[in-house]
């Protein structure tokens, strides 16, 4: 092991300044707890942005990584491998999908989905059918194509000409979608619960109408389940709780439980447009990643864990309501399962980061979703004791912000 001293200043010296990380440098974790360089203990309500679905160093994941690490690390897609085929088989068995494509991240999964939708439309309907419709405040990744489809200009402006024929309407605004969709639309892209955009749930009637509009216009419905998938909402995937089925679904984040992996799922008739050579990834389907993801998928896809998500949601909602009764800073708690957003009321507009910073001072890790929402995305198996203690720390953080 290197004995080189690493500090927060090291970041400023050697890292590209596109992040502004906290002063805290975590060095180890166990379950929902994390310890920093000074051995201070934090409770993790952030989950590495909805990634650590089983907490830190879950024995099943450590075991899978250790076992596979002694066998085979990498072969590339010149050959296939057993962990990838096992994981794909389980994902197909558990979902609407018939085919799976593996990659390394949510952005890559979405990039593949958007390329596939364009290629499918071109092959079946002609090159005029290229329009992609997405939603304002959506988030689909940071590649140039995915950030263009994401509905936040602040992330996509300033890099030159954008990929063309991408349009945006407001989430839950059916009339706006009806006004813009046509037979030239190749896909409608949506999160079944907007995460980065503020933890905004879809109106169930809206989702059903989007599905019907796509069917009318031979457009593919793409669900970005990078944040909502693999148990986060209490269903294995969020579409299962909405009563409709997408044509293409993307997954990442919780899929690997902390090991980088992404997946695109679809039906065979659509997948056929990705013939050999049309798309690829050197690391996609990596044996290490797939072995860990298989263990995570097996652990989450159980009645015990999925039913437990709703129970844990109630612990959070009750605890936040009690805090808010005292401090009156939140207008509502949005979201589903363990993707929850505490929405700041008019008095505290723009101060989400202040709540996050105060929480870190109280040794609690939370997230924001824009300037007005404090976001929680903890482990799906977090204990009642950790939720109780974390909310006590959150209350102290709230008190600091409210009382100045």
Q: Is 107 annotated as a binding residue?
A: yes
Euclidean distance between CA atoms 382 and 55, whole angstroms: 7
Count of other CB atoms within 10 angstroms of residue 146:
28
Q: Is 89 annotated as a binding residue?
A: no
Q: Is 16 annotated as a binding residue?
A: no
The set of residues, in sequence order, having a beta carbon less than 8 Å from that of 291 and lying 6+ positions away, is 64, 65, 67, 68, 83
Whether residue 343 contacts residue 372, with contact meaning beta carbons closer than 8 Å, is answered with yes
Look up 253 and say whether it is catalytic.
Answer: yes
Look up 139 and say whether it is catalytic.
Answer: yes
Whether residue 178 contacts residue 142, with contact meaning beta carbons closer than 8 Å, is answered with no
Whether residue 365 contacts residue 46, with contact meaning beta carbons closer than 8 Å, is answered with yes
User: Using alpha carbons only, what angle is made at residue 221 by residues 268 and 282, rounded to the nearest 5 degrees?
Assistant: 55
Look up 336 and say whether it is catalytic.
Answer: no
Q: Is 226 annotated as a binding residue?
A: yes
Q: Is 76 annotated as a binding residue?
A: no
Catalytic-role residue among 102, 114, 224, 355: 224
Catalytic-role residue among 45, 114, 145, 253: 253
Catalytic-role residue among 135, 139, 223, 297: 139
Q: Is 281 annotated as a binding residue?
A: yes
Q: Is 362 annotated as a binding residue?
A: no
Euclidean distance between CA atoms 374 and 368, whole angstroms: 4
User: What's the chain's length in residues?
Assistant: 404
Q: Is 46 exposed, middle or buried (0-12, 13-18, 19+ CB in 10 A)?
A: buried
Q: Is 282 annotated as a binding residue?
A: yes
Q: Is 139 annotated as a binding residue?
A: yes
- Which residues does the annotation mark as catalytic? 139, 224, 253
Residues contributing to the annotated binding site for pyridoxal 5'-phosphate:
106-107, 139, 224-227, 282
Residues contributing to the annotated binding site:
106-107, 139, 142, 224-227, 281-282
Residues contributing to the annotated binding site for N(2)-acetyl-L-ornithine:
142, 281
């Amino acid at each position: 092991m290197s004995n080189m001293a690493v500090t927060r200043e090291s970041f400023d010296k050697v890292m590209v300044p596109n992040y502004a990380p906290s002063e805290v440098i975590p060095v180890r974790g166990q379950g929902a707890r994390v310890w920093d360089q000074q051995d201070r203990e934090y409770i993790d309500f952030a989950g590495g942005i909805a990634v650590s679905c089983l907490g830190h160093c879950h024995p099943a994941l450590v075991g899978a990584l250790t076992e596979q690490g002694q066998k085979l690390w990498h072969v590339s897609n010149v050959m296939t491998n057993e962990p990838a085929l096992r994981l794909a088989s389980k994902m197909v068995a558990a979902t609407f999908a018939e085919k799976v494509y593996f990659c390394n991240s949510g952005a890559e999964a979405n990039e593949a989905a958007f390329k596939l939708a364009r290629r499918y439309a071109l092959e079946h309907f002609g090159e005029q059918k290229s329009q992609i419709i997405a939603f304002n405040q959506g988030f689909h990744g940071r590649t140039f194509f995915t950030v263009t489809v994401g509905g936040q200009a602040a992330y996509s402006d300033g890099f030159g000409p954008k990929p063309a024929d991408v349009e945006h309407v407001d989430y839950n605004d059916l009339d706006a979608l009806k006004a813009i969709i046509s037979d030239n639309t190749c896909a409608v892209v949506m999160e079944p619960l907007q995460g980065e955009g503020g933890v905004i749930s879809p109106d169930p009637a809206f989702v059903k109408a989007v599905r019907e509009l796509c069917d009318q216009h031979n457009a593919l419905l793409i669900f970005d389940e990078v944040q909502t998938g693999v148990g986060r909402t209490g269903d294995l995937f969020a579409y299962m709780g909405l009563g409709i089925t997408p044509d293409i679904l993307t997954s990442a984040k919780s899929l690997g439980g902390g090991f980088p992996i992404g997946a695109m799922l679809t039906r065979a008739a659509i997948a056929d447009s990705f013939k050999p050579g049309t798309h690829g990834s050197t690391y996609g389907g990596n044996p290490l990643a797939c072995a860990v993801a298989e263990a995570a998928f097996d652990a989450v896809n159980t009645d015990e864990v999925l039913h437990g998500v709703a129970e844990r949601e109630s612990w959070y909602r009750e605890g936040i309501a009690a805090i808010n009764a005292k401090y009156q800073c939140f207008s509502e708690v949005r979201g589903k399962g363990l993707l929850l957003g505490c929405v700041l009321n008019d008095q505290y507009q723009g101060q989400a980061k202040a709540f996050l910073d105060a929480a870190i001072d109280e040794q609690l890790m939370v997230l924001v979703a824009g300037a007005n929402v404090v976001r929680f995305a903890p482990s799906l198996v977090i204990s009642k004791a950790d939720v109780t203690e974390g909310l006590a720390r959150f209350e102290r953080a709230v008190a600091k912000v409210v009382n100045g």
